[in-house]
Structure 1
Amino acid sequence: MHEQCISVVVPTYNRAHLLEKTLPTYLQPEIFELIVVDDCSLDETRDTVLQLAQSDNRIRYLRSERNLKQPHAKNLGIRAARAPYIYFGDDDALLLPGSLRFLLETMQEHKADIVGARAPYMIKEEEVPHAQVLYSFEHAKKLMPADWQTIINPVTLQAHFDAAYAKPIEVPFVHAAFLVSKKLAEGLLFDVAYTGNCFREETDFLIRAKASGARIWYDSRAVQVNLPRDMAGGGAHTASGNFVLRKLKIFMSQAENNWRFLNKNRAALRQVLGNDLSPTLRQSLFLAEIAKVILSYPLRKVTGHEF
């Protein structure tokens, strides 16, 4: 089970400055190949990836001829993958050692179809060299979930995938960092109709998977740590101009994509979560959370906590 059986798919856009730091962390013993899907970057992404590939021939480079966003890039990676399992990584995150092994163990032990990793966010750049210690499962405060509602709010869909739990637990969906069989991924694919920052594209995939009968587990022993936001320029945050207008554009894109997700998946959400709340109510609660973030921004600037 722990042979080289995983194709890691990492979509990327304008993050050449991060790739030398992030991509090598995915080159764990269990991977057959690391597929970097360049979503038509304007920087030195191609040269950076090809340079890294010279030191490890498991690295493959694919490029989209147009910037078509993450769902399209992930679908390209799914179709190109040659291993029986696929893990979706991020170009602005570090995968801690042993994570893929943990995901495979949980998939085998619980006969799971999808297993998600813990995804904490680093706050300060000074944490990066010490990420393996600061965010490892061994050093985390471990909680004991009573059920999946300890992790996911079935009304607001807010989830705590940055928290460590004493043992893996079955859940309705996980974070974007997850392991799945290639067969299941090919059968579902990501919905390319999500636009802008493509918020909810992975939740859409996972809710559809769960509604189709897939078993989804969360294993917080596996850890994919997101780099601090002030380091992770590029990606969905590639933009110029007024800071406030850029932030408002991001929030508007989140709201639009959330509304699409809620309407498209109402029946699946009812089946998976056991409630039938209207998309209007869920969207109202979501907009209220966005408002809280906006109102808290002055305090975040003072304390150094970006959003």
Structure 2
Amino acid sequence: MLRTNPPRVSVIIPAYNSMPELTKCVTSVMEQTLGLDKIEIIAVDDGSTDGTADELDRLARTCPSLRVVHQPNSGGAGGPRNTGLDRAGGDYVFFLDSDDYLGPDALRRMVAMADENRTDVVLGKMVSVGGRAVPTAVFSHNQPRTDVFSSAAYRTLGCWKLFRRSLIERLDLRFPPFRNCEDKPFTAAAFLNADGISVVADYDCYYSRNRQNGNNLTLTAADLVHRMDGTRLCFETVARYLEPGPRRDQIMRRHVEWELCGPLRALLPKESEQQARERFYPQFRDWALSYVTEGVFQQLAPQDRLIVHLLRADRYEDLITVARHAKEDAARGNVVDKGRVYWCHPFFRDPVKAVPDACFDATDRLPVRHELAEAAWTGDGGVLRLAGHARIESLGALEPTTRLILRPRGFPHPDIRVPVTVRTSSHQPDDQATGFLVEVDLSTVDSGAPLGAGVWDLHLDVRAKGVSRTVRLRQAGTDANGRRTAPPRREVGATTARPFFTPYGNFSLDVRRTEDEPVCHVTGIVWDTSAPGTLVVSGRLADDATGRPGPTALRAEGDSGSVREVPLRYAPDGGGTGFTARLPVRRLPPGRWTLTLRTDEPNSRIPVPPLKGLTGTRWFRAARLGRPYYAKPLPRGSKGAVVLRVAPVGLTAALRRRLGRHGSGSRP
């Protein structure tokens, strides 16, 4: 097969003594629905001795898209991955371990997600085969565009993801020569510099399995000597790309928990006394002193806080004692004192050990088991009935001081606290009072006034034995289709209240003035990758749009007063009526253009909001001697509408950039 265009994806497979799993791994890529004309497979045999090399050569004879590289053994997966990266030519790179395999539609879905949302990294849902641990939290729902600060993506630093190759080359990313933890610094750097991250959660993309012979690197190179270099590089990577502050603390916490405290507890006591004291302990202590700020420390569980405290205080003997007895001490339970809950570790309030109480404070870490079982309007008015159950683990019955909290999202207003009725719950086997019932009258809930316009997130202040824990009110359970059904929107006085569940199952209220209630919702604004300079706007009619005139055209209005319009095309989308419009921005004269949707109602304009992720684009105008033009979004204009600037690219600047690219080093 003669390839006429660059591949969309380069799949890199490092292979060392990978039989018999290797065959299924490679064929799963050959059978991708994306098509072999859009895929190159680069399999790197890292000095195998078990027939892996022969099997790769055999498969290559059947598949022109498969390139096989044979090299001496490098001792880890990083070396062959780097060999593959040096040869990759795809728009995207996907790393596939030779133990694992892909779902047939995996690459097509991930590439489409990256293309549509212009994201640099895509996570495909992982599936465990044979009990191998895989991440689950990040795959609760599809996430078209997110980042490491607002998702659970950073909890999975394995490199089994789709990366935009230009990101890898811009950062000059390569894998360090470590036997374990070599992929964590690579993925961390990509995450922290990515222009958006996507998650494909509605399809089983990546099947992770253990080898039959048990020689996975994660098992055979699991001791401390193989972890320390990778851990050090993880900390240095975060410090390099994030300024000190809450954002760095949020990311650094992951490494403190998983790369510092966890291995120290599990592995340090297994080392010889000399190795533990002289080689590994000083490194762990240096990380605790250098990277565990007070912001990180406060976020840790008591077991980790105690370890960090002993490291900082240079108490090696006590640290080894804590690590050796970690499992039995974790089950010692808690004690309640003056509204705080403390871990009953033997060091707690031992005058000889003199460890601060803050190291044992578990109040904010106690699990709150709760569920919103019922949410419904009562009667014809604005009374919302909410019922469910809640308890703070190990603390018994709820107190009558438990409250529902309505908290404003993104606008100034005090929390609104509503008393609940505590009752016996069938979910508690010993008939303790763990049920709650509350009826919220939206017309009077704010100290006799109606609930104001805005989005209100509902929380529950759960109280037991003088301890208070506030959690988001949520419904974990779904129906057979994986959905949650919120009560319908309802008019309450001069406002319309729309209850809804977030993708995580959290319950919220969207309250708007009735006259401001939109007739439609814009759901997407992207540049058409197949038609340069063409903007595609998509949306759907609101659920209650019946009887109100819907939009009929996408309107671009220039600063000079000139107008261009394109019609909307409607089609049922399963959740209402969807529409799209294609605006050839390349045909607009230079200037600033405000985008709105026009209805047949006189002077009715619906702003097209500047959705997150819309970037600029370029094209050439043949009628103007092939001169390049660009369009880019500006800060929103009147009434929140997106504004595009259309202009020719400055020829001097374009030439300077082009010359700069050609002279900026050996890598393309």
TM-score with structure 1 length normalisation? 0.68
Trace 1:54-203 onto structure 2 (pairs within 5 A): 54-123=61-130, 160-161=135-136, 164-168=139-143, 170-172=146-148, 173=154, 175-197=158-180, 199=181, 201-203=182-184
Three-state SS of the structure 2 residue aligned to 1:8 is strand
* Paired amino acid for 1:196: R
Three-state SS of the structure 1 residue aligned to 2:11 is strand
Aligned residues: 250
User: 1:219 — aligned with what?
Assistant: 200
Cα distance in 2 for partners of 1:124, 1:83 equals: 33
Q: Deviations over 1:270-292 (max 9, x none)?
A: 57970337979944663433467
The answer on whether the counterparts of 2:44 and 2:70 sit within 8 Å (CA) in structure 1 is yes
Cα distance in 1 for partners of 2:258, 2:215 equals: 29
More strand by share: 2
The answer on whether the counterparts of 1:87 and 1:177 sit within 8 Å (CA) in structure 2 is yes
- Listed as ranges, the gaps of 5+ residues in structure 1 are 126-158, 240-245, 297-307
User: 2:190 — aligned with what?
Assistant: 209
Cα distance in 1 for partners of 2:204, 2:171 equals: 24
Cα distance in 1 for partners of 2:247, 2:21 equals: 41
The answer on whether the counterparts of 1:207 and 1:268 sit within 8 Å (CA) in structure 2 is no
Between 1:19-28 and 1:258-267, the stretch displaced more is 258-267
Q: Deviations over 1:12-35 (max 9, x none)?
A: 111132111221111213242211
1:48 shift after superposition: 0.7
Q: Kindly tell me: are residues 108 and 5 of structure 1, through their superposed partners in 2, closer, same or farther at Cα, counting changes over 3 Å?
A: same
Cα distance in 2 for partners of 1:46, 1:203 equals: 28
The answer on whether the counterparts of 2:9 and 2:93 sit within 8 Å (CA) in structure 1 is yes
The answer on whether the counterparts of 2:239 and 2:248 sit within 8 Å (CA) in structure 1 is no
- Listed as ranges, the gaps of 5+ residues in structure 2 are 1-5, 149-153, 268-325, 328-668
Cα distance in 1 for partners of 2:250, 2:265 equals: 22
* Paired amino acid for 1:57: P
Three-state SS of the structure 1 residue aligned to 2:128 is coil
The answer to whether residue 8 in structure 2 is matched with residue 5 in structure 1 is yes
Cα distance in 1 for partners of 2:92, 2:255 equals: 34
Three-state SS of the structure 1 residue aligned to 2:80 is helix
Cα distance in 2 for partners of 1:75, 1:54 equals: 24
User: 1:254 — aligned with what?
Assistant: 227
Three-state SS of the structure 1 residue aligned to 2:69 is strand
Q: Deviations over 1:92-135 (max 9, x none)?
A: 1120111111101211221101112122322359xxxxxxxxxx
The answer on whether the counterparts of 1:5 and 1:83 sit within 8 Å (CA) in structure 2 is yes
* Paired amino acid for 2:238: N
Cα distance in 2 for partners of 1:103, 1:268 equals: 26
More helix by share: 1
The answer on whether the counterparts of 2:188 and 2:237 sit within 8 Å (CA) in structure 1 is no
Query: Which protein shows a greater Rg?
Result: 2
Q: Deviations over 1:59-97 (max 9, x none)?
A: 110122341532222221112123322211111112011
Cα distance in 1 for partners of 2:189, 2:131 equals: 35
Q: Deviations over 1:256-275 (max 9, x none)?
A: 42133213432425579703
Trace 1:42-57 onto structure 2 (pairs within 5 A): 42-57=49-64
Cα distance in 2 for partners of 1:166, 1:177 equals: 18
Q: Deviations over 1:121-175 (max 9, x none)?
A: 22359xxxxxxxxxxxxxxxxxxxxxxxxxxxxxxxxx93476323225232454
The answer on whether the counterparts of 1:14 and 1:238 sit within 8 Å (CA) in structure 2 is no
User: 1:21 — aligned with what?
Assistant: 24
Task: For CA contacts below 8 A with separation 6 or more, give which structure has more relative contact order.
Answer: 1
Cα distance in 1 for partners of 2:194, 2:24 equals: 37
Cα distance in 2 for partners of 1:162, 1:211 equals: 19
Cα distance in 2 for partners of 1:5, 1:214 equals: 19
Q: Percent identity?
A: 19
Cα distance in 2 for partners of 1:102, 1:22 equals: 18
Cα distance in 2 for partners of 1:195, 1:49 equals: 25
The answer on whether the counterparts of 1:120 and 1:162 sit within 8 Å (CA) in structure 2 is no
Q: Deviations over 1:185-224 (max 9, x none)?
A: 2333444434122x1x333223323443532222223521
User: 1:268 — aligned with what?
Assistant: 241
